[in-house]
Amino acid sequence: MQRWEERARDEVGASMHQDSLMLQNSLPQYLEQLVDELSTKIERTPARIKTDKLESTRIGKLHGHERAGFADYSMTQLIFEYHILRQVIFQILEEEATLEVRERDIIIDSIEQAVNDAATQFSQTLRDIQELFMVTLTHDLRNPLHVIKMGTHLTLRRLDQGDSHVNIAVTMLKAIERLNSMIQNLLDASRLRAGQSLKFEFEECSLDSLLLEVVEDLSFAYGDRFVVVSNAAIKSNCSRKQMQRVIENLAINAVKYGAANTPITLTLEQIGTQISLIIHNEGNPISSDAQSILFQQFRRTTSAEDQTGWGLGLFLAKSIIEAHQGTIEVESAEYKGTSFIVKLPKLAIQKS
């Protein structure tokens, strides 16, 4: 371990900031495990082999977990540590006698398995740390953002129509709404990646009324570009809050990526037991290649690269619609514009 530590400090930059015990962490345990595997006096029963494998995996994961907690360590440096360890083991053992083929194979196999276990745990722990940081950061941003939003609304109400500051307040409100949406999308995507489900509170809701409310709010920020086509009361079991997010996301996307100053049409209708919501905008079509990645998280089309956002909106919209036992798809063609088509059952089965 002394010789390994000397080389590690010379060749692995992140090791310079650790004291001896922190640097070595689980590696002495690994060497003890390797000694058992090399021993010719221990009977290698199936039970013993299984126990050794489990212990070896535990030690490798422990090393990876501890390295992920050091800000300076990267996956490359973690793996390099094990390469140094393998070289040092061979050098020291062969100073006394040439290793047999069986012994070399055991050492090589053991190191490879240790690297795999440590790297897997390093990645998992790093993801956990990043998720915790992201959730904590986004959660802490919500309160001050809410204060700013309420203050902007209040300011806007007190301004007279025609006041030059109205446009400034409206622009601020758009930015606040966008930031709030980005924060919520990031939180929800984190939950989904962690294997958790989004929170749905299903109730009977009037989709036509919800659509009108959303459009009214959006018109306040984006102007009178929205055209609602719905001539019937359409009810469904749905999570009102989550469906509102879907409609807002699709409508705002139509504003961002559609042709400027052209109408955005939201058509809601019911055919039999199926509800259809189509959000259409004019403008350049979405290529077939881009359509194939639209609903993937953190994937953005070329035309969207100059827009703000995480690339999560459509991914989350798809997750929400699927939780309502529905589907979402896109149709886009030259001279026909782009339509996002949401189809829902009239009565979705409740989920918690």
Query: What pLDDT is recorded for position 195?
Result: 61
Average pLDDT over residues 62-82: 84
Query: What pLDDT is recorded for position 44?
Result: 77
Query: What pLDDT is recorded for position 347?
Result: 62
Query: What pLDDT is recorded for position 348?
Result: 45
Residue 305 has pLDDT above 50, yes or no: no
Query: What pLDDT is recorded for position 273?
Result: 83
Confidence class of residue 196 from pLDDT cuts 50, 70 and 90? low
Query: What pLDDT is recorded for position 337?
Result: 92
SS3 labels along the chain: CHHHHHHHHHHCHHHHHCCHHHHHCCHHHHHHHHHHHHCCCCCCCHHHHHHHHHHHHHHHHHHHHHHHCCCCCCHHHHHHHHHHHHHHHHHHHHCCCCCCHHHHHHHHHHHHHHHHHHHHHHHHHHHHHHHHHHHHHHHHHHHHHHHHHHHHHHHHHHCCCCCCHHHHHHHHHHHHHHHHHHHHHHHHHHHHHCCCCCCCCEEEEEHHHHHHHHHHHHHHHHCCCEEEECCCCCEEEEEHHHHHHHHHHHHHHHHHHCCCCCCEEEEEEEECCEEEEEEEECCCCCCHHHHCCCCCCCCCCHHHCCCCCCCCHHHHHHHHHHHCCCEEEEEEECCCEEEEEEEEECCCCCCC
Query: What pLDDT is recorded for position 282?
Result: 94
Query: What pLDDT is recorded for position 306?
Result: 47
In the chain, the percentage of residues whose pLDDT exceeds 70 is 88
Each domain of the chain, given as residue ranges in start order, spans 2-130, 132-193, 202-345
Average pLDDT over residues 141-150: 80
Mean pLDDT score across all residues of the chain: 83
The CATH code that applies to domain 202-345 is 3.30.565.10
Residues 261-272: tens digit of each pLDDT? 899 999 999 988
Residue 245 has pLDDT above 90, yes or no: no
Residue 33 has pLDDT above 60, yes or no: yes
Query: What pLDDT is recorded for position 138?
Result: 66
Confidence class of residue 194 from pLDDT cuts 50, 70 and 90? low
